[in-house]
């Protein structure tokens, strides 16, 4: 398949191009996308030549028209950039008798309703939609029109036409920003979700609605103040070690991924607090409100740690370097009045095995080496709360 993408260097264009290149180059091996191979990608942008566009229009099997003007100095450029280029593109396709499907990236502002009434940008987008509908009726070429809401995601330019990009860049890097009205609510579409929709178009899995309109989703809704609050929480997670909600499809997951993509070079590393004593060290790595805490435990040669138990919390130990003896014993006495027997596990970083510390069982971990440190990844079902530690000393 030969795919032409206009506006290839823009925010959406770049994301779509990189996704298609991954399919073309065999990096994205998902079965459904193999139907697109062999794949040729024609990238066209404002610096391209008329001769290039002419050749692409002659050969393309599918066209994504993502080119457009968002913030011109002269409002008249909206019509020239959005309507004018579309006229040229469709004219070349028609000239070559190429009736391949064409996707138009329009805008919700084309509705000219509510706060979009009188929008010069919306008027240019609506005119472009009419142009594509007329072209489809005249030539029989399939046309897919997407009225896109506010888009966000990696590679979107801050301080241009995306409040989310501006806020992400500012909060991630400590730059000043201003929110005029925190209560203003935005309809938001993540660029990865949009690209997924466009790939479905290529596969022929999309049926347009009335007037050629197609649904691009899922769309989230969030107020500006809520977005800024979430971003500030993401920034604070480096100090409190928290992990934002990463539920599949959640706005939090998509916004957090976007936020990280705006961190300046050199700012993606941050230190952790290492708690050291004569036995070794203990370093908290991650804290989650619903999935517990991850820590790194280092034990010096011959050292035993633990010798305690918990009422409710439980743990997973994974030795990643060194050799250890993990011992567990049920707290209390058996019916004969004897201590319960000890359950022992000899584990090594060379042969990873997870050992679980069940509630009500005293447990310990001993470094069996006389020369090397023992490194253990420890997961606990709840983050440590000094006011409610649920930890009680008892030797195994």
202 C-beta neighbours (distance < 10 Å), count: 22
Which tokens sit at 319?
């030795």
Instruction: Supply the DSSP symbol for 373.
Output: -
Q: Cα separation of 86 and 134, whole Å?
A: 12
Ramachandran class of 83: left when φ > 0, alpha when ψ lies in -120 to 50, beta otherwise:
alpha
SS3 labels along 41-61: EEEECCCCCHHHHHHHHHHCC
User: What are residue 122's DSSP bridge partners?
Assistant: none
Cβ partners under 8 Å of residue 152, min gap 6 = 162, 164, 165, 168, 188, 189, 190, 191, 254, 255, 258
In this structure, what token pair is assigned to residue 259? 């936020």
First to last CA, the chain: 67
How many CB atoms neighbour CB 390 within 10 A?
15
Q: CA-CA distance, 310 to 271, in Å (whole number)?
A: 30
Q: Catalytic pick from 116, 146, 160, 270?
A: 116
Torsion of CA 110, 111, 113, 118, to 10 degrees: 30
* 116 is an active site residue: yes
Q: By the 8 A CB rule, do 305 and 365 touch?
A: yes
Q: Where are the alpha helices (DSSP H) in the chain?
A: 11-24, 50-59, 76-78, 85-95, 120-139, 163-173, 191-202, 224-240, 251-260
CA distances from 71 to 59, 168, 269 (A): 32, 20, 35
The set of catalytic residues is 116
């Amino acid at each position: 398949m030969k795919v032409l993408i206009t506006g290839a260097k823009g925010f959406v264009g770049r994301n779509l191009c990189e996704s298609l290149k991954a399919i073309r180059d065999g990096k994205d091996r998902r079965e459904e996308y193999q139907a697109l191979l062999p794949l040729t990608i024609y990238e066209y942008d404002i610096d391209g030549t008329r001769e290039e566009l002419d050749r692409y229009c002659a050969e393309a099997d599918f066209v994504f028209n993502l080119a457009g003007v968002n913030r011109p100095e002269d409002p008249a450029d909206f019509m020239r950039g959005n309507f004018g280029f579309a006229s040229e593109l469709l004219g070349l396709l028609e000239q070559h008798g190429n009736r391949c499907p064409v996707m138009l990236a329009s805008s919700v502002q084309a509705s000219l309703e509510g706060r979009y009434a009188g929008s010069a940008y919306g008027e240019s987008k609506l005119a472009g939609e009419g142009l594509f509908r007329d072209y489809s009726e005249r030539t029989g070429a399939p046309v897919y029109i997407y009225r896109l809401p506010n888009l966000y995601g990696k590679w979107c330019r801050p301080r241009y036409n995306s409040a989310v990009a501006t806020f992400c860049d500012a909060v991630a890097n400590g730059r000043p920003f201003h929110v005029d009205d925190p209560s203003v609510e935005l309809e938001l579409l993540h660029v990865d979700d949009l690209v997924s929709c466009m790939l479905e178009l290529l596969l022929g899995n999309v049926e347009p609605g009335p007037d050629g309109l197609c649904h691009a989703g899922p769309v989230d809704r969030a107020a500006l103040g809520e977005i800024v609050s979430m971003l500030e929480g993401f920034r604070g997670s480096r100090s409190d070690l928290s992990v934002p909600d990463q539920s599949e499809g959640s706005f939090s997951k998509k916004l957090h991924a976007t936020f990280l993509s705006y961190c300046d070079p050199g700012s993606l590393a941050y230190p952790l607090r290492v708690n050291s004593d004569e036995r070794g060290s203990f370093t908290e790595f991650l804290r989650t409100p619903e999935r517990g805490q991850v820590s790194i435990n280092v034990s010096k040669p011959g050292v035993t740690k633990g010798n305690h138990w918990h009422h409710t919390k439980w743990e997973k130990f994974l030795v990643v370097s060194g050799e250890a003896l993990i011992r567990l014993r049920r707290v209390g006495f058996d019916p004969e009045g004897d201590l319960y027997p000890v359950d022992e596990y000899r584990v090594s970083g060379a042969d990873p095995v997870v050992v679980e510390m069940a509630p009500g069982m005293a447990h310990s971990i001993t470094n069996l080496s006389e020369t090397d440190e023992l490194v253990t990844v420890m997961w606990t079902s709840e983050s440590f709360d000094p006011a409610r530690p649920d930890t009680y000393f008892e030797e195994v």
